[in-house]
Structures are given as C-alpha cells and as structure tokens.
Amino acid sequence: MVTLQFVPYHEIEDLGSARRVKKLIDIVKENKIVLLQGRLKKEEETDLISIAMEEFGSRFKGIELAVINPGDKDTVGVKKLRNNLFGFLLGDRQGLTIIGPANIVTEIKKDPNKIELFTKEARKKKKK
C-alpha cells in the first residue's frame, strides 16, 4: 500500500531549516510519500538528500524529489508581475514539493499538463 501525507506550509513555516528538513525526513522514514504545500529552499533540498543518506545508512536507496511551481511557466507582463508579487507576499507557499523514498517512488515525471508518480510496493520485513 502506498501512503501519501500532505504537509501544509503552515506546519513548517516557523521551523528553522534543520528542523524543517528533519520533519520531512521523519515522514519519509515511515515509507510515506510527502506532498508538501510550497517548496524548500535549494539549500534545504541539498540538506534533505545528504542528511537522509547519513541517517538511513546502508539500507538507504535514496529519495525522489520533485518541485512543481506554477510560476515556472513562461509568463509575461501582468501575469509575471502578479506571480512575482504573490511570491514576495507568500514566500515559498506556491507550488508543490513531492518527496518519497526511492524504494517506493521509482520515478516522477512532470510536464505542463500532468504529474506522473511511478511507485512500487515497499517490501515488508519477514517476521521470524
């Protein structure tokens, strides 16, 4: 079974970068796919990957991360000004960040019309 956990931006906005990354890693450790409202800073994305590698150790297969941002589309004139104003006022709330363990999320494809999230079932440990 694949589990998605939505994390609204207000749950992480008051956290420092390290606590924000830790909160997301803790969710991914539970073999859940995180749907984060907004986006992380580039440094936080880098920290997320490096800290996850350290914490998961040899059993770590990696994480998949994708950011979908409506402001990335080619906009001009009033639309571009509006997007810049919203970005200034709302900060990192625009967009959507998807983070998942690589043992479940095999690939994330995105184009202007859709997002495709390819998953495989996580293997459960056999009980002895």
Residue 18 lies in a domain: yes
* Residue 40: closest CA among 54, 23, 62, 53: 23
Where in the sequence is the domain holding 74, given as residue range(s)? 3-119
Burial class (CB in 10 A: 0-12, 13-18, 19+), 85: exposed
Query: What is the count of structural domains for the chain?
Result: 1
Question: What's this model's pTM, rounded to 2 decimal places?
Answer: 0.75
Residue 125 lies in a domain: no
41 half-sphere exposure, CB direction, 13 A CA radius: 12
Residue 128 lies in a domain: no
Question: What string of pLDDT tens digits covers the 128 residues of the chain?
Answer: 789 999 999 999 899 999 999 999 999 988 899 999 988 988 999 999 888 878 766 666 778 888 887 665 554 555 556 555 555 555 556 788 999 988 888 888 887 667 888 888 655 555 55
pLDDT for residue 117: 86
Residue 17 lies in a domain: yes
Residue 36 lies in a domain: yes
Residue 126 lies in a domain: no
The CATH number of residue 62's host domain is 3.30.950
Beta pairing class for 96-101 and 105-111: unpaired
